[in-house]
């Protein structure tokens, strides 16, 4: 008999098939037993019917507990009453393993308990919906960049130097040297952009941040495009296109999962170009009007981002932050050299920053000066300076955080559910 997956069940109506999976739930009603079987691709109602009171399959049914594994054989039927519209008339059950005392029961559990059992929590319908949307977001991003001729150029994780400041580095021994886990692939992207014109990297990045907020992970995935000859405006356009593409793709392909999460899709349907653009200066004004004690020159924290994010229906692009709150490689604004040609995109509905980027310094002397000002070891940045020595061009790029984007699209409270195994402050298990 053919082993099929539940997501393909509609193709097998009237046929006898084999399912392999786990007991999600069960119930009895008179002479019928209902088994809800999950196989990782879906959940199917499997019915056992007997005209007699006793039946060997009834005995097996009794034995089965939540999350017990089994093989079920039977005939596929279309049935409008069944959840999903199909069911299996069970002819045979082969029990593989009886699960005893599965810890995650239908009753509510605390978050810390669920996080300790993340390896099992992943089996739930809600986690399935979130992680399927995550996979869709990732696929959409790759299709977007591949479709526009961007070259995927993986950047290294083990690096001799920092990209985003030196206070949040994970350090490891690299034989006789010290290595740091990459905070961003950007510096390397700049090298590959000079070689391939338009590139992206997509991988895990690391920040040893002591923040315990609903927006921080210590290990998170980021996609980072970089374009030679691009200006700040070019990459804002690119960022808009990307976000519009991701959202419409999820709306198109993951309707069911959004429903499972009770996500009101109306706010997502409004995500179209152009997005509002304001300057950092405008943002300060808005924040002051809302009663924040904030001065020009201060960086935004989570509360500020939340307020700004809530002020717009679409993602808002905040440009031209003061240079001094940004990384060393930021290109100064020719109209005001205290400002950076940079952009942060804040997702709406209070979600805050999902994108950060801008134009990079392309002048050798200016970059050298900044590296010195930031007390960075020049020998580690010699190759990076070289990019300004041999055919330097203006260039720009950005990074989009996957988990924050997924959290916003799913409208969930905490980023920890947007990745299979989150790494947070004091949390590395399982």
Binding residues for a copy of itself restricted to 204-243, rule: CB under 8 A: 204, 206, 218-219, 221, 228-229
Closest to a copy of itself by CB, 114 or 294: 114
Q: Does 31 bind a copy of itself (CB under 8 A)?
A: no
Is 347 within 8 Å of 315 (Cβ atoms)?
yes
The correct pick among 16, 84, 109, 160 for binding a copy of itself (CB under 8 A) is 160
Closest to a copy of itself by CB, 26 or 314: 26
Q: Does 390 bind a copy of itself (CB under 8 A)?
A: yes
Q: Does 113 bind a copy of itself (CB under 8 A)?
A: no
Structure tokens that stand for 229 in this block: 């000859």
Binding window for a copy of itself (CB under 8 A); candidates: 35-43, 47-55, 340-348, 369-377: 35-43
- Which residues, 364 to 383, sit near a copy of itself by CB under 8 A? 380, 382-383
The correct pick among 33, 128, 254, 370 for binding a copy of itself (CB under 8 A) is 128
The correct pick among 26, 43, 67, 397 for binding a copy of itself (CB under 8 A) is 67
- Which residues, 1 to 30, sit near a copy of itself by CB under 8 A? 3, 5, 7-8, 20-23
- Which residues, 311 to 370, sit near a copy of itself by CB under 8 A? 362
Binding window for a copy of itself (CB under 8 A); candidates: 111-119, 340-348, 350-358, 369-377: 111-119
Mind spelling out the 3-state secondary structure of the chain? Answer: CEECCHHHHHHHCCCEEEEEEEEEEEEEECCEEEEEEECCCCEEEEEEECCCCCCHHHHHHHHCCCCCEEEEEEEEEECCCCCCCEEEEEEEEEEEECCCCCCCCCCCCCHHHHHHCHHHHCCCHHHHHHHHHHHHHHHHHHHHHHHCCCEECCCCCEECCCCCCCCCCCEEEECCEEEEECCCCHHHHHHHHHHHCEEEEEEEEECCCCCCCCCCCCEEEEEEEEEECCCHHHHHHHHHHHHHHHHHHHHHHCHHHHHHCCCCCHHHHCCCCCCCEEEHHHHHHHHHHCCCCCCCCCCCCHHHHHHHHHCCCCCEEEECCEHHHCCCCECEECCEEEEECEEEEEECCCCEEEEEEEEECCCHHHHHHHHHHCCCCHHHHHHHHHCCCCCCCCEEEEEEEHHHHHHHHHCCCCHHHHCCCCCECCECCC
Q: Does 426 bind a copy of itself (CB under 8 A)?
A: yes
Binding window for a copy of itself (CB under 8 A); candidates: 193-201, 256-264, 318-326, 342-350: 193-201
- For the CB of residue 238, give the shortest distance to a copy of itself in the complex, in Å: 14
Binding window for a copy of itself (CB under 8 A); candidates: 29-37, 86-94, 157-165, 241-249: 157-165
- Which residues, 391 to 420, sit near a copy of itself by CB under 8 A? 391-394, 419-420
Residues 78-97, one symbol each (x = binds a copy of itself by CB under 8 A, - = not), give ------------------xx
Closest to a copy of itself by CB, 180 or 321: 180
The label of the residue with tokens 């949040």 reads 168
The correct pick among 16, 34, 58, 69 for binding a copy of itself (CB under 8 A) is 69
Closest to a copy of itself by CB, 95 or 325: 95
The correct pick among 37, 90, 115, 155 for binding a copy of itself (CB under 8 A) is 155
């Amino acid at each position: 008999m053919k082993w099929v997956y539940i997501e393909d069940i509609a193709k097998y109506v009237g046929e006898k098939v084999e399912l392999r999976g786990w007991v999600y739930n069960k119930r009895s009603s008179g002479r019928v037993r209902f088994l809800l079987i999950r196989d990782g691709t879906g959940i199917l109602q499997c019915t056992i019917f007997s005209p007699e009171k006793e039946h060997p399959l009834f005995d097996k049914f009794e034995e089965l507990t939540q999350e017990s594994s089994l093989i079920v054989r039977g005939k596929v039927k279309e049935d409008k009453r069944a959840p999903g519209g199909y069911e299996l008339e069970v002819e045979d059950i082969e029990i593989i393993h009886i699960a005893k005392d599965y810890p995650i029961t239908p009753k509510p559990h605390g978050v810390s308990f669920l996080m300790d059992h993340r390896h099992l929590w992943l089996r739930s319908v809600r986690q399935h919906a979130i992680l399927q949307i995550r996979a869709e977001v990732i696929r959409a991003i790759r299709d977007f960049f591949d479709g526009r001729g961007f070259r995927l150029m993986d950047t290294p994780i083990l690096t001799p130097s920092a990209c985003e400041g030196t206070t949040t580095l994970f350090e490891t021994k690299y034989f006789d040297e010290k290595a740091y886990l990459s905070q961003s692939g950007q510096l390397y992207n700049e090298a590959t952009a000079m070689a391939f014109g338009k590139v992206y990297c997509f991988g895990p990045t690391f920040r040893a941040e002591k923040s315990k907020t609903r927006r921080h992970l210590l290990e998170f995935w980021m996609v980072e495009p970089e374009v030679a000859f691009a200006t700040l405006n070019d990459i804002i356009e690119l960022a808009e296109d990307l976000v519009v593409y991701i959202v419409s793709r999820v709306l198109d392909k993951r309707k069911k999962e959004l429903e499972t999460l009770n996500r009101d899709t109306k706010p997502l349907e409004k995500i179209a170009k152009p997005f509002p653009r304001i300057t950092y200066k405008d943002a300060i004004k808005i924040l002051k009007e809302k009663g924040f004690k904030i001065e020009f020159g201060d960086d935004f924290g989570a509360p500020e981002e939340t307020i700004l994010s809530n002020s717009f229906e679409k993602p808002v692009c905040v440009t031209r932050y003061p240079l001094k709150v940004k990384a060393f490689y930021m290109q100064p604004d020719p109209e005001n050299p205290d400002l950076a040609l940079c952009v942060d995109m804040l997702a709406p509905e209070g979600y805050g920053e999902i994108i950060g980027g801008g134009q990079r310094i392309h002048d050798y002397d200016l970059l050298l000066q900044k590296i010195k000002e930031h007390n960075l070891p020049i020998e580690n940045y010699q190759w990076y300076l070289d990019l300004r020595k041999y055919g330097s061009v203006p260039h720009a790029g950005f990074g989009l955080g996957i988990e924050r984007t997924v959290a916003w699209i799913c409208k969930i409270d905490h980023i920890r559910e947007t990745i299979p195994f989150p790494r947070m402050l004091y949390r590395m298990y399982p």
